[in-house]
Structure 1
């Protein structure tokens, strides 16, 4: 058996996946704390370097949940930690607002129509609304929560940049665990300091698209307003966060309780 590595959510765990981090350590309602070493969120996991492999394999990860689209998964397959089961859990269809937008950036005419002159910002708000109501998203996020509540841990879930699809997944899990909204937003915004890999990729795409970096930048960073749009849409469509959990995601109270029992100490 390999050495198990214990880490906190401070600093960089993996230099080759800078947005890989532990959701543990946050205070939960009722005085508990989210356990360390149980839930990890990340950016792309095809980038894990050879020097990072001992740490990556030593985290005790038993489930890897890939939130990307089929196109992304096929083109950039994950490196799965030793002893972990890989599962693809899409939260976007190929025709969703955020589905495979990189393909659009490779087509100059399409890129200008979709993202130029402030359209990228509007695009991002649309992505967050779809993550709340799209049927594929509802199925995918329900699956993520159920796997965190019932499946083997530790668990890591990720998308490409680890900021939007993963960001909403982390916000959902932390909210279910009773973490204060201000802390949830702070965890979400921490992705902005961890986008080195995404910046390289997005700058390359922007050059191909003929768009300026300023036009593309709203898609390369997270903003509090993006996450607040999702929470506001939750209230608009389902009446409350609890309504979203029960009526939208279809999660049982037993699953939520199991998640809390497992993740809070």
Structure 2
């Protein structure tokens, strides 16, 4: 007796379930479940992955290795890497491409919600305006463009530096802005770590500090809009930011898009 036909939707659900990691709760495919572009092209999955810091269990490290990941790009600053070094993914090479993130010394003394929001807005503008950030994102995108194997990039929470890189990639591929926004906000559905730290803040600093610190722990479209505003101000368009700001050639941009968008 032949087996019953497989429902594609069930297969997709299983694939998505297999990509969830208990020890890196913001690990996911950059292309989602195969996001559709504005012109109806479905992006390739299993090519690029994004994550929070790789404090992986042995089993999760093996799972990532099983996806064929050959390169891990760590966007964290040196102090973050030293505090929580990545667990090695068998068969992969680790690359340090640091981007300035949320300044922890500043966060430790946030006096108000307004100060927290100002910090986040400044961080996101820095992704576009700081030379070091541009150099790091250029290195990341060039490395992706030059590869033909699955790769992974991440920062600490997988929401800001990682979120900006993913948004740029999806936009270059022609994914609708609504989808880009929804993908960016998926981080907020991973609330275990955030609730843990907010609980500690509530316990040690008081209820009035929860809203202050929560502002630096969530993905917020207002933050993404700050980076977008910096792109418009300094470069005029996302394509010009990638070409002129990051220095990628037209051939490199085409190769980058080609990693996710089938011909």
TM-score (norm 1): 0.85
1:13 paired residue among 20, 26, 51? 20
Higher mean displacement: 244-253 or 10-19: 10-19
Tell me how far apart the structure 2 counterparts of residues 261 and 12 of structure 1 sit (CA, whole Å).
Answer: 23
Count of equivalent residues:
247
Partner of 1:40: 49
1:171 paired to 2:179: no
Partner of 2:67: 59
Tell me how far apart the structure 2 counterparts of residues 117 and 54 of structure 1 sit (CA, whole Å).
Answer: 41
Distance 1:223 1:235, change over 3 A: same
Deviation for aligned residue 1:151:
2.6
Deviation for aligned residue 1:239:
1.3
2:128 paired residue among 128, 132, 137? 132
Deviation for aligned residue 1:15:
1.6
Tell me how far apart the structure 2 counterparts of residues 127 and 203 of structure 1 sit (CA, whole Å).
Answer: 25
2:251 paired residue among 242, 254, 259? 254
Distance 1:15 1:103, change over 3 A: same
Distance 1:144 1:200, change over 3 A: same
| Matching of residues 91-170 of structure 1 within 5 Å | 91-92=99-100, 98-99=101-102, 101-106=103-108, 111-112=109-110, 115-170=111-166
Partner of 1:216: 213
2:61·2:87 contact (CA, 8 Å) conserved in 1? Answer: no
Partner of 2:176: 180
Partner of 2:3: none
Partner of 1:191: 187
1:74 paired to 2:82: yes
Q: Is the partner of 1:156 in helix, strand or coil?
A: strand
Give CA deviations for 1:55-82 in whole Å, capped at 9, x if unaligned: 2221110010000000001111001211
Partner of 2:229: 232
TM-score (norm 2): 0.85
Where structure 2 has 5 or more consecutive residues not aligned to the other structure, the ranges are 1-11
Deviation for aligned residue 1:11:
8.1
Q: Is the partner of 1:219 in helix, strand or coil?
A: coil
Deviation for aligned residue 1:53:
3.3
Tell me how far apart the structure 1 counterparts of residues 70 and 118 of structure 2 sit (CA, whole Å).
Answer: 37
Distance 1:191 1:9, change over 3 A: farther
CA RMSD, aligned part only? 2.3
Give CA deviations for 1:177-228 in whole Å, capped at 9, x if unaligned: 1212111111000110114224434654676667711111110111111112
